[in-house]
Chains A and B, each alone.
Chain A
C-alpha cells in the first residue's frame, strides 16, 4: 500500500486536488466538510512535496520519471520530478496551504453564500492542481492544456465576487490570456513541425540536431512562446490586464493569482526556454539579451507605476509587474548563480506577495477602506496583520534576514558574473523604488494617529495563515538551506543540458 502510494506520488499530487475539486459542487450544502477537505488536500500535498523534494535532494540529480499509462517516452506522456519540479511543487504547497486557511475565515465577506464559496474552492483546487501539473510535466502539449486550465480557473477566481467591475476585469483578462495561449499553442505547433516530438527531452535533442534546416521556424517558435507566456505572466508592456484583475479579485484569490499563478507560467516559460530550446540556441538567437532588456524595463516601469497608485491592492498588483521583471532578467543571465537566485527569488516572491495581499485583504475586510491614506494608525489596532505586512514588505525590498534578500543577492552576483553592470544598477534601483512605494504604507500604519473606530485583528484562521507565511519569510531569509540548494541544483540542471 505504502509502496503503491510513494511510487505513484507524482501523479497523486496532481490528481488529488483536481478530483477533490470535481466532487466539491455536490457537497456545497456542507460547507464545513468542504473546507476541511480543501485544507487536508493541501496538507497532504505539502507532505508529498516535501517527500519528493527530499528524494530528489538525496538522489543527487537523478530525476524521478513517471510514465502515464505505462507508455514510454516519445509516445506516452511523461512526468518528470527533477530539481526544478520538486522545487516549484514545494513552493506551491507552502503557499497554497496558508491561503486556503485564510480563505476559510475570510471568504464569507469576500464572496458570499455557500454555493459561491464552494465554487471558489473548486476553482482554487483546479488552479493548484494545474500548477502542480505545470511543475512536473515533461510534455509540451500537456503544458498547453494545463496553462489553459489554470487560465480558466484564474478567470473564474477573478470573477468570484459578483460585481460588474469584476466581470469587466475578467473579460479583459480572458481575452488577453486566450490570445496568449493561442500564441503558446502556435509556438508548440512550430516546435512540433520542426522536430516531430512533443516530449521536451526528445524535442530538445532533435532541435539541437536539425535547427539549421529551418532557422526561421525556430525563430517564430521563440517569439510566439515569449509573447504568449509574456502576456500570461504580465511582462511589462503586456501587463494591462493584471492591475484590474488582481485588485478586483477577492483577497485570497489575489494572493494565489499574484503569488502562484503568474509563477506557474514563468516556470513553463523557463522549461520551454531551457529544456526545449536549450541555452546554446538561446545564445544563437540572442534571446537572453531580449529577456534581460525586457526585464529591466519591467522593473523600472512597474515600480514607477506602483508609486503612482493610491489604492492599496492596485499598488501591490503593479508591484507584481515589477517583480516579474526581476525574474525575466534572471532568466536571461545564463549562469548558475543568476538562475538559482532567480528561482529562489521566484519562491520568496510567491510567499511575500501572498502575505502582502492577504494582510491587505484583512485590512480591507475590517476597515472597508481601499485607499492607503485611510489606513492611518492601523498598526496599533491590528498588530498581527500589520506586522505580517511589515515583515513581507521588508522581504520584498530585500532587507537582509528576510527571504527576498537571498534571491536578490544571488541575482546581483549573477549579474556581476555576466558583466552586466546596467542590470546591477537596475536591480538596486528597483529595490530603492520598492522601498519608496512600500515604506509610506508602513509609516502611515504605525506613526499616524488612529481614528476612533473598532478595528480588530481578524479571526484565528486568518491570523494563523498570516503568522505562518511571515515565519516562512523569516526562516527562508535566515536559513535558505535546502531550498536554495534545490534551486541551485535546478539551475545547474537547466544549464547543463546540451
Chain B
C-alpha cells in the first residue's frame, strides 16, 4: 500500500496498540481481558503492520524462527511456572501455597505467578496469530 497518511498514522499508533496488549496481559487477574485477549491485541499490532507496510517487511521484523521459538517456549514457560510449586513441595501450578507473595488485592502484584504465566500464554497467542496470518497470506 502506498497511502502516506495510513503509514504515518500506523507508525504512531501501532506501538501503543502493542503496549496496550501487554497492559491487558499483565492486568489479566484484576480486570477484564487477560492473556488470550491481550495476546491477540499484540498479535494484531504486528498483523496490522504487515498489512500496511507489506508482508515482506513484516517478515523481516519477525522472522519465522523467532515465531517458532516464542510459540514453543511461551508454552514451556507456563510449564516452568507450574514447576515452581513442585519444587516447593506442593502441587503443580500452586500459587499461594508455594510461598509466592500475594500483595494487596486489587493491585498489580496481587496475582503472584498469574501474571508470569499470562506473559507466556500471551506471547504464545500473539505468535500463533501472526503465524496463522503469514501462512494464510503465503498460500496464494
Do A and B touch (CB < 8 Å)?
yes
A residues contacting B by CB (< 8 A) are: 4, 8, 11, 15, 18-19, 22-26, 66-70
- Point out the residues of chain A lying under 8 angstroms from B90, CB to CB: 70
Q: Are A69 and B79 in contact (CB under 8 A)?
A: no
Q: Are B69 and A26 in contact (CB under 8 A)?
A: yes
Residue of A nearest to B69 (CB): A26
**Which single member of B76, B86, B96 contacts A8 (CB below 8 Å)?**
B86
- Point out the residues of chain B lying under 8 angstroms from A15, CB to CB: 79, 82, 92
**Which single member of B71, B87, B92 contacts A25 (CB below 8 Å)?**
B71
**Which single member of A8, A22, A23, A26 contacts B91 (CB below 8 Å)?**
A8
A394–B71 CA distance with the chains assembled, in angstroms: 46
Q: Are A66 and B72 in contact (CB under 8 A)?
A: no
Q: Are A25 and B94 in contact (CB under 8 A)?
A: no
- Point out the residues of chain A lying under 8 angstroms from B95, CB to CB: 69-70
Report if A26-B72 is in contact (Cβ < 8 Å); known contacts: A67-B91, A68-B93, A70-B91.
Answer: yes
- B103 CB–A CB distance under 8 Å: no
Q: Which of B8-62 contact A (CB under 8 A)?
A: none
Report if A22-B85 is in contact (Cβ < 8 Å); known contacts: A11-B91, A70-B90, A70-B91.
Answer: no
- B102 CB–A CB distance under 8 Å: no
Report if A70-B94 is in contact (Cβ < 8 Å); known contacts: A19-B76, A22-B75, A26-B72.
Answer: yes
Cβ contacts A to B, 25 pairs, < 8 Å? A4-B87, A8-B86, A8-B91, A8-B92, A11-B91, A11-B92, A15-B92, A18-B79, A19-B79, A22-B71, A22-B72, A23-B73, A24-B72, A25-B71, A66-B91, A67-B91, A68-B91, A68-B92, A68-B93, A69-B85, A69-B94, A69-B95, A70-B90, A70-B95, A70-B97
Residue of B nearest to A5 (CB): B86
Q: Is the interface of A mostly helix, strand, loop or mixed?
A: helix
- B89 CB–A CB distance under 8 Å: yes
- Point out the residues of chain A lying under 8 angstroms from B68, CB to CB: 25-26
Residue of B nearest to A122 (CB): B72
Q: Which of A22, A23, A25, A67 has the most CB of B within 10 A?
A: A22
A439–B5 CA distance with the chains assembled, in angstroms: 75
New A-B pairs, 12, CB < 8 Å, besides A25-B71, A26-B69, A68-B93 = A4-B86, A4-B87, A8-B86, A8-B91, A19-B75, A26-B68, A26-B72, A69-B94, A69-B95, A70-B85, A70-B91, A70-B97
* Band of interface residues on B: 20 to 34
A190–B89 CA distance with the chains assembled, in angstroms: 38
- Point out the residues of chain B lying under 8 angstroms from A19, CB to CB: 75-76, 79
A69–B91 CA distance with the chains assembled, in angstroms: 6
Q: How far is the CB of A341 from chain B (nearest CB, A)?
A: 36
Q: Are B75 and A69 in contact (CB under 8 A)?
A: no
Q: Is the interface of B mostly helix, strand, loop or mixed?
A: helix
A7–B92 CA distance with the chains assembled, in angstroms: 10
**Which single member of A4, A24, A68 contacts B89 (CB below 8 Å)?**
A4
- Point out the residues of chain A lying under 8 angstroms from B85, CB to CB: 69-70
- Point out the residues of chain A lying under 8 angstroms from B86, CB to CB: 4, 8
Q: How far is the CB of B127 from chain A (nearest CB, A)?
A: 11
- Point out the residues of chain A lying under 8 angstroms from B94, CB to CB: 69-70
**Which single member of B76, B87, B93, B96 contacts A23 (CB below 8 Å)?**
B76
Report if A69-B93 is in contact (Cβ < 8 Å); known contacts: A15-B79, A15-B82.
Answer: yes
Q: How far is the CB of B93 from chain A (nearest CB, A)?
A: 4
Q: Are A23 and B92 in contact (CB under 8 A)?
A: no
- Point out the residues of chain A lying under 8 angstroms from B89, CB to CB: 4
Residue of A nearest to B65 (CB): A26
- Point out the residues of chain B lying under 8 angstroms from A11, CB to CB: 91-92
A15–B79 CA distance with the chains assembled, in angstroms: 8
Q: How far is the CB of B117 from chain A (nearest CB, A)?
A: 11
Q: Are B72 and A23 in contact (CB under 8 A)?
A: yes
A66–B94 CA distance with the chains assembled, in angstroms: 12
- Point out the residues of chain A lying under 8 angstroms from B96, CB to CB: 70
A67–B69 CA distance with the chains assembled, in angstroms: 31
Q: How far is the CB of A447 from chain B (nearest CB, A)?
A: 50
